[in-house]
Structure 1
Amino acid sequence: MKIDKATVGKRYAKALFELAVEEGKMDEIYQDLLSLRTIYQEIPTLGELLSDVRLDKNEKRQLMDTLIKPFSGLMERFLEIVFEYNRMDDFLLIAAEYERRHDDKKGLVIGTVTTAVALNNQQKEALENKTASLLNYQDAKLEEKIDPTIIGGVIVEANHQVIDGSVKSRLDYLRSKLAR
């Protein structure tokens, strides 16, 4: 049975994260993953090239050697394993899951806030503080999205939860109650 890419990403990230915490290198590995993610964003086909079994092994090895040159220790060993099992095309999923685990361990929740108009700095900071408190985190970082169709209020999405305080959703709720 073939495992889907998201599951692969979670498994590899979990293993790397647990080892990084055990070795006291959680933040170092996090920074390494961020720098690798930048490379993957600059060369979108890199993962496919390194995982394609049809390509010449020596050429892939040379490319891999160049990629891992700046890394040592745990990160180098991890990348070698991912390469050996032809999972370099899953790297971005692995990095995203590691980042989620890292942020969670640091007490940081990442999410989005949708508003009808842009928030000022004070409003955004207050909303981040309230979101962190509601979700039992120390801190929250919310990416802003503007959607005039919500009319007013806010919709916060973080940690697989949605807090919908939009005027539109309240009006829709009232409509449904009145229609009965």
Structure 2
Amino acid sequence: MSKSVVAKRYAQALFELSQTNGQTGSVHEDLLELKKVFQNNSELEQLLGNPRLTSTKKKELLAVLFKDANPLIQNILFVLLDKKRINETVNVIDEYNALANDAAGTTEATVFSTRLLTEDEKAAISTAFAAKVGKLSLRIENEIDPSLIGGIRLQIGNKIYDSSLSGKLERLKKDLIGS
């Protein structure tokens, strides 16, 4: 999660606005996609931070790129651009996600597995581990990691639950060697 006070303020405002409009879920989903765009395209943030481009041109670019997104998403991007805080976009998204997850009784989790998990498997993992962290459910992101050999490794915040075969072998090695 972000340490930015500015990001927390913008995220709180966006969250309250989305709650008022009954759009918390759709804004949350759009923000997850927006985060991927900003993380995978560092050129976009550089372009939006370029002082040679006018604010109007930058807004036109954002309007075209995110024309299908919720209008609240476009508005927050325009505000961040106007306030010269576009570099805080990912932090705002992270803070918003934390607020939305807390309100819904969920939390983010990453499951590392050797193959893509089915929806039933994700639901079973969510059910099994949500209570351990005091939540109703987990919002699971699945990442493929062939080095696990088998099983899964689950990360929820700073907690890691490792039931992978490679993890078990590593623990057995430490037990046998004693280090």
TM-score computed with the length of structure 2 as normaliser: 0.68
Q: How does 1:137-156 map to 2 (within 5 A)?
A: 137-156=135-154
Q: Confirm or deny that 1:17 pairs with 2:14.
A: no
- 1:52 and 1:86 in contact (8 A); partners too: no
The change in CA–CA distance for 1:29 and 1:13 in structure 2 (over 3 A counts) is farther
SS of aligned partner of 1:47: helix
Report the aligned-residue RMSD: 3.7
Where structure 2 has 5 or more consecutive residues not aligned to the other structure, the ranges are none
Contact 1:154–1:165 (8 Å) recurs in 2 = yes
Structure with higher Rg: it is 1
**CA offset at residue 114 of structure 1?**
2.2
Moved more, 41-50 or 11-20: 41-50
Distance 1:148 1:22 in 2: 41
**CA distance 1:29–1:61, change in 2 (3 Å):** farther
Do the aligned residues in 1 keep the contact of 2:115 with 2:144 (CA within 8 Å)? Answer: yes
Q: Deviations over 1:4-38 (max 9, x none)?
A: xx54xx43331123334555438636745727828
List gaps (5 residues or longer) in structure 1: 1-5
Contact (CA 8 Å) 2:15, 2:24: kept in 1 or not? Answer: no
Separation in structure 2 between the aligned mates of residue 118 and residue 51 of structure 1, nearest angstrom: 37
> How far apart, CA to CA, are the structure 1 residues paired with 2:93 and 2:104?
16
The residue number in structure 2 matching 1:111 is: 109
Alpha-carbon distance in 2 for matches of 1:30, 1:63: 27
Matches within 5 A, 1:1-180: 7=3, 10-22=4-16, 24-25=19-20, 28=23, 31-32=26-27, 34=30, 37=34, 45-53=43-51, 55-56=52-53, 59-64=54-59, 67=62, 71=71, 76=75, 78-79=76-77, 81-117=79-115, 119-180=117-178
Normalised TM-score (structure 1): 0.68
- Cα distance, 1:135 vs structure 2: 1.2
Contact 1:112 1:145 in 2 (8 A): yes
Quick one: distance in 2 between partners of 1:46 and 1:114?
29
Q: 1:48 to 1:119 in 2, by over 3 A?
A: closer
Q: 1:26-78: CA deviations, max 9, x gaps?
A: 8636745727828956976443333223x15xx32343267469847x974x5
What is the distance in 1 between the residues matched to 2:117 and 2:37?
Answer: 33
Q: What is the SS of the residue equivalent to 2:84?
A: coil
- Match for residue 3 of structure 1? none
Matched pairs, number = 168
